[in-house]
Amino acid sequence: MLAERYRDIVAAGMEYRLTETNFNFGQKYRGKVRDTYDLGDRLLLITTDRLSAFDRVLAAIPFKGQVLNLTSAFWFGATQHIIDNHVLAIPDPNVTLAKKCEVFPVEFIVRGYMTGSTSTSLWTHYNNGVRDYCGNMLSDGMCKNQKLVAPILTPTTKEAHDRPVSCAEIIELGLMTAAELKIAADAALRLYQFGVAEAAKRGLLLVDTKYEMGRDAAGNIVLVDEIHTPDSSRYWIADSYTEHFARGEEPDSIDKEFLRLWFVKNCDPYNDKVLPAAPDDQVQELAARYIRLYEMITGQDFAFPDQRESIQARLQKNICAAVTVP
């Protein structure tokens, strides 16, 4: 149920969603979720409210961009002892000023549970009979949502449609050198274990997540994009997991999986040219879950923006105040 204390402001936020930006801050690249502006040696990353899954944009979720950007900022700051990252500044709740890096064409997905609903998910492949997944040998007889004996790394390529690959294939394809891969893979597993431990302190299970990494101008391998957000990660409520699993029920999730499942039930999200619009109540429920997750992780109240101010005007003002742009 949508948290009562969020209900009215989230409903009003349906008219305040950030779906697109068009600033004169240099060359723009539109990703599924972020609008990126090239400032030369730096990048301006504006996290919108677009929701992506199944290799396409599904909806726009109120305040989602702010949740993602500030949740990432929290985790970037907390994980610098494991690996450096690309963050230079956070000039606006939706904006990160970042070092420009040469990003590796690989997403490092770490999984702690047998679950998922997309074509690249562990459960989808396992349920179809796959037992060697990205070089990880899986035993027979596992159930959906079961905890794995140990976390596994299941990389995918960054192509139009993500493709699972093993570490050996990454090297064979020339996507990374063996030395680069070892640093990145080791960091991904350490980041996940750290995230699991910190999430547990907050009553959460960090089920699986993805990381992206690149090389900065000094030649260092750094963490880029986002970290441990409800877009890049799956979170379950810890204290109800065992009971739900024993009953064969889906866990209480606090990420976008329930909306992904709605699309799977109501259409073919990979192949249908036009998808149905996500229902408003589902969109608002997801907004509330994202806000709740932010507050659980950071221990801070979510700072709702002043909806009397144009979000575009606010972005322009805050970016220009902090950054000299072309």
pTM: 0.92
Per-residue pLDDT of 203-227, as tens digits, reads: 999 999 999 999 999 999 999 999 9
Q: Are 69 and 75 in contact (CB under 8 A)?
A: no
Pairing of strands 102-103, 163-164: unpaired
Q: Are 87 and 224 in contact (CB under 8 A)?
A: no
Per-residue pLDDT of 36-45, as tens digits, reads: 999 998 999 9
Distance CA 65, CA 28 (A): 18
Which region among 4-8, 30-34, 64-68, 313-317 has the lowest average model confidence (pLDDT)?
4-8
Give which of 8, 67, 52, 99 is closest to 290, Cα–Cα: 67
Q: Give the homologous superfamily in CATH for domain 4-322.
A: ATP-grasp fold, B domain (3.30.470.20)
DSSP state of 41: S
> Is pLDDT above 50 for 117?
yes
> Is pLDDT above 90 for 81?
yes
CB count in 10 Å sphere of residue 114: 20
**Model confidence band, residue 2 (pLDDT cutoffs 50, 70, 90):** very low
> Is pLDDT above 90 for 130?
yes
How far, CA to CA in Å, does 266 sit from each of 3, 24, 60, 67?
25, 39, 18, 27
Helix 64-78 to helix 280-298 angle (10° resolution) is: 20
Helix (H) or strand (E) holding 199: helix 178-201
Per-residue pLDDT of 60-78, as tens digits, reads: 999 999 999 999 999 999 9
Instruction: Give the pLDDT score at 326.
Output: 55
> Is pLDDT above 90 for 179?
yes
Percent of residues, the chain, with pLDDT higher than 90: 84
